[in-house]
Amino acid sequence: MFGGSKIVYFIGVTVVSVCSLAFSLPAISIGAEFVGNSGCKCHMGKGCFEGEEYKERLHSNTWEKRLKGSPDAENPDCLKCHATAYGEKIAEAGKKYLPNVQCEACHGAGSEYKKLKENFQGKGKDAFKEILKKDPFEARKVQYDAGLIVAGINGPATVKEQCLKCHWETKDDKNKCPKTDKVMDYKEFFKKDDHRDEDELDVALKKMSAEDKKKWAAILPKDEILNTPLKPKKKD
């Protein structure tokens, strides 16, 4: 969620090809497993990967639309960008990958940071909400320590750098998938897939002192695009 002064949980941008570069973020937290989007509540409201908001994103059907039923449906080179967690440890037994580009494709294996919201420090499901209200910066640090990855903050240096793991900006890029000529217009793709929202941390950022900025420098955005204004919220 930063934007303007928002932290972002950015999932990259739309996957446009049928096969792409190998890309899979390692789990930072030891023993972390990929758990899938079900129950994702990182964002306010329904959560960006629950309900209608996720369905609007082209990331939501990268496997179903591009690979399902095709000769490439089980192609490792394609699955590494059109699916999530291929070749990684998945909590659900027997799963080789999770279809489509899900949260963890860019934010890392979620089993450990998901537990924070379920039973933080063994104090129940409301305990994390309390620390988020009391000390939002500490709450975010706890999430990062549990394996949450955010490009431009504690992952790849910039959001664009993360996107370029599975996208390209020119047709002659050496890493371009041979099955498509589509290229990434980064700024346009960011606008389309920007799923930042405001939470307690954003409110605290507006009141942040110079001393606090220094103290929490490690969890503040380094990529300027994360400081751009948020899109207006849709009216219900």
Residues 6 or more apart whose CB falls under 8 angstroms from that of 148 comprise: 107, 108, 110, 113, 154
Looking at the domain covering 52-223, what would its CATH class be?
Answer: mainly alpha
Measuring CA to CA, which residue among 124, 121, 163 is closest to residue 8? 163
Q: Please give the span between the terminal C-alpha atoms of the chain, in angstroms, as a whole number.
A: 21
Please determine, for residue 165, whether its predicted confidence score (pLDDT) is greater than 50. Answer: yes
On whether the CB atoms of residues 49 and 94 are closer than 8 A, the answer is no
212 burial via Cβ count (<10 Å: 0-12, 13-18, 19+): middle
| Residue 8 pLDDT exceeds 90 | no
pTM: 0.81
What are the pLDDT digits (tens) for 17-34? 334 333 344 444 568 999
Decide if pLDDT at 160 tops 60. yes
- What the block records as the tokens of 30 is 């030891």
Residue ranges of domains in the chain: 52-223
Q: Is the pLDDT of residue 9 over 50?
A: no
Closest CA to 11 of 19, 20, 1: 1
Confidence of residue 57 (pLDDT cuts 50, 70, 90): confident
Percent residues over pLDDT 90 in the chain: 53
pLDDT value for 63: 95
